[in-house]
Amino acid sequence: MYEGAPDYPDTARMWELLQKYDVTIFYTTPTAIRMLMGSAPSPSAFDLSSLRLLGTVGEPINPSVWKWYFEEVGQKRCPIVDTWWQTETGGMMISALPGIETIPLKPGSAALCIPGTDMAIVDEDGQSVPPNTRGHLVVQRPWPGMLLTIWGDDSRYEDVYWSRYPGRYSAGDYAMRDDDGHMWLLGRADDVLKVAGHRIGTAEIEGCLVSHPHVAESAVCGIPDDLKGQAIAAFVVVKEGADCSPGDLADAVRRGVGPIAVPKVVCVVSRLPKTRSGKILRRVLKAIACGEDIGDTSTLEDPEAVTEVSEAFARLQGD
């Protein structure tokens, strides 16, 4: 297990470790993969032949990022295990099963529910939705590893996880099941913006941005807007040497998602605030965008990233 930053002291760090220690399984976050995608050197400059399995966890992975991971890091021979689980579930519940060739890998899909689990995708009223329809992910029967309560707060446990769909565990994630039964995780259900009465998932906008050939990473949040109630702020890291303006990125969202999803503010920075495990601290970005206190930063990997983002956003607001 490696607990350091994936780009310290430089962006060759991961590839050097994989090569030096003949690592066989590389399991990391989509955020870390996107960061490595946009940086030199290429993994092809290193001997990664020891790898036999790739994994990703923590957030949905964009298909273009999945393909790069498979082709450039796994050299088209290592299967990718895109796992869905929560601390609360105590173990993986949706995942590909490497070695079972009858179950195809689909870029961006977490594949199938683990045998023995009973999961469903439901609408606001708790009714199962048809294939290829977004809904709320629920666990229909208890799972041995699941949490029994929240320490010292049984009522909160019931309210957060069980009250919305009585008798079923609400995961708090949006998901979709395709015609083959493969699960597609679509981001947190509470990461939904309401712009001029339209509900838009942040994952949809972020996915559109990172699919742009010049974008390495992105994160989106809502900001107050007198006219629309809520507007969109996008924080974007472009790849080294790329020439990409905020207007170009806004146009990409207009084409890819629609006019209603175009960010009011596009803030281009060299890095985003992240935890030491590589996850983007969206809470911190939202606090910066809304002029609020950023709160606890004990998990922050690079405090200077907060300073850079704060100053860049302030400059945009002053223009």
Is 7 among the domain residues? no
Residues 144 and 255 in one domain: no
Q: Which two tokens stand for residue 57?
A: 């966890």
The pLDDT assigned to 181 comes to: 94
0.75 exceeded by the pTM?
no
Residues 197 and 314 in one domain: yes
The pLDDT assigned to 319 comes to: 58
Q: Of the candidates 149, 98, 144, which has an alpha carbon nearest to the alpha carbon of residue 118?
A: 144
Q: Report the number of distinct structural domains present in the chain.
A: 2
Judged against a pLDDT cut of 90, whether residue 287 lies above it is answered with yes
- Neighbour order of strands in the sheet with 169-177: 119-122, 135-139, 169-177, 183-188
The pLDDT assigned to 153 comes to: 92
Is 291 among the domain residues? yes
Continuous H helices in the chain? 13-20, 30-37, 63-68, 154-161, 202-210, 246-256, 282-290, 303-318
Is 27 among the domain residues? no
Judged against a pLDDT cut of 90, whether residue 11 lies above it is answered with no
| CA-derived radius of gyration, the chain | 20
Is 251 among the domain residues? yes
Domain boundary residue, one of 188, 215, 240: 188
Judged against a pLDDT cut of 70, whether residue 231 lies above it is answered with yes
Residues 244 and 295 in one domain: yes
Domain boundary residue, one of 168, 188, 208: 188
Is 201 among the domain residues? yes
Residues 197 and 265 in one domain: yes
Is 197 among the domain residues? yes
**Average pLDDT, integer, range 23-30:** 93
Query: What's the CATH number where 159 sits?
Result: 2.30.38.10
Q: Give the pairing of strands 265-269 and 229-238.
A: parallel
Domain boundary residue, one of 145, 168, 188: 188
Residues 212 and 310 in one domain: yes
Residues 135 and 222 in one domain: no
**Average pLDDT, integer, range 220-246:** 90
Residues 208 and 268 in one domain: yes
Residues 204 and 239 in one domain: yes
Query: What's the CATH number where 247 sits?
Result: 3.30.300.30
Residues 213 and 230 in one domain: yes
8 Å CB contact between 233 and 289: yes
Is 54 among the domain residues? no
Give the pLDDT confidence of 159-190 residue by residue, as tens digits.
999 999 999 999 999 999 999 999 999 888 87
Residues 199 and 259 in one domain: yes
Residues 295 and 249 in one domain: yes
Quick one: pLDDT band at residue 196, thresholds 50, 70, 90?
A: confident
Residues 181 and 226 in one domain: no
Range of the domain at 200: 192-318
Is 223 among the domain residues? yes
